[in-house]
Amino acid sequence: MDAKDSTTASSTAAPSSTTAPPQYRRPPRLAEDTNDVKPSNQPPIAAQKPEPLSEPKQKKEQERKSAIAIPSKDPDALDSGGGISFLGGSKTARLNYGYASFKGKRASMEDFFETTVSEVDGQMVGFFGVFDGHGGSRTAEYLKNNLFRNLSGHPGFMKDTKTAIVEAFRRTDADYLSGENPQQRDAGSTASTAVMLGDRLLVANVGDSRVVACRAGSAIPLSIDHKPDRTDERERIEQAGGFIIWAGTWRVGGVLAVSRAFGDKLLKPYVVAEPEIQEEEIDGVEFIIIASDGLWNVLSNKDAVGIVQEITDAEAACRKLVQESYARGSSDNITCIVVRDMSRVD
């Protein structure tokens, strides 16, 4: 999460007394490697001029070298991957999905993500999520390891998926808070998730990470960021006895610049892990993008969709999104998932 969205007011320059804060706004509606050379005890061999390779041998040697893959051990490197999976429904859906994650300009990495396709009650289900931590990475890591497990294990997951999502989110938050170190009560995380079940796509969001779909070539937001200056969020917080103030940006209690998150024990009950859920039919959705605000702070929904439209491979699309976000000046961790080719095959 961007520093402006996760730091306390004390780390933000005080606003000028002569500058009025912006007005509240209502959100839009949804519509490399070195070789070790050891010394030899053998007598030196006279240098010989190497015999030039013939063209076929040159080509073979180039192919051999290009086939050698040296895994990067650089923690600052861009991490990416992906795959193709099949989901069962009234017909079978093929998913081409990819991910990319980059620490960027931040001192530490607080983003986590999950891409899982597993069987639940005899049916294949796709789980995809991005978790953007603040105050450390522990909450986001906890969500990666537990949120989808709690959801898929809910007894009502197949029959009443929306209720199962809400209850799984609540349980995961409660379990995390009950086991949290008392000295680390300021840690939290967003969660933007997509569940693909049969013919349905269910998006559940907590915080300011975001899910955007492409339908008929247009960018369609499937979640709305949870910001304190949303009129409905401000009203909910104030009714619970909390407040928001301007400290570089609108913050709950003058501390947190998102109005919903997992964790953040000191800000309960004002900052909640109650998800907003949007359901769509998979048919007609060309692809979806799930990303942390390190991407959305510098790319519009339309820009992101336009980039993915030009790249057929989901992993390559994710890498391009991350690279473009960094090039445009993102100062945060950047993580994204693209799921595309959600087509039906017999």
In tens digits, what is the pLDDT along the chain, a chain of 346 residues?
Answer: 544 444 433 333 334 444 454 554 444 445 544 333 333 444 443 444 444 545 544 544 444 433 333 344 465 789 999 988 776 655 566 788 999 999 999 999 999 999 999 888 888 899 999 999 999 999 999 999 999 999 999 999 999 999 999 999 999 999 999 987 766 678 999 999 999 998 899 999 999 999 999 999 999 999 999 999 999 999 999 999 999 999 999 999 999 999 999 999 999 999 999 999 999 999 999 999 999 999 999 999 999 999 999 999 999 999 999 999 999 999 999 999 999 977 554 4
The letter for the amino acid at 296 is W
CA distance 15 to 33: 49
Is residue 97 within 8 A of residue 114, CB to CB? The reply is no
Cα–Cα distance, 330 to 273 (Å, whole number): 26
Q: Which residues on neighbouring strands pair with residue 134, listed in sequence order?
A: 188
The separation between the first and the last C-alpha atoms of the chain, rounded to the nearest angstrom, is: 42
Q: Which of 233, 248, 238 is nearest to 7 (CA)?
A: 248
- Are 304 and 289 spatial neighbours (Cβ–Cβ below 8 Å)? yes
291, 304 Cβ separation under 8 angstroms? yes
Give the domains, in start order, of the chain with CATH numbers. 84-220+275-345 (3.60.40.10)
For residue 9, the SS3 value is helix
Q: Say how far apart CA 132 and CA 111 lie, in whole Å.
A: 5
Q: Which pTM was predicted? A: 0.78
CB atoms within 10 A of CB 311: 17
DSSP letter (8 states) at residue 260? B
Q: Give the Cα separation of 150 and 172 in Å (integer).
A: 7
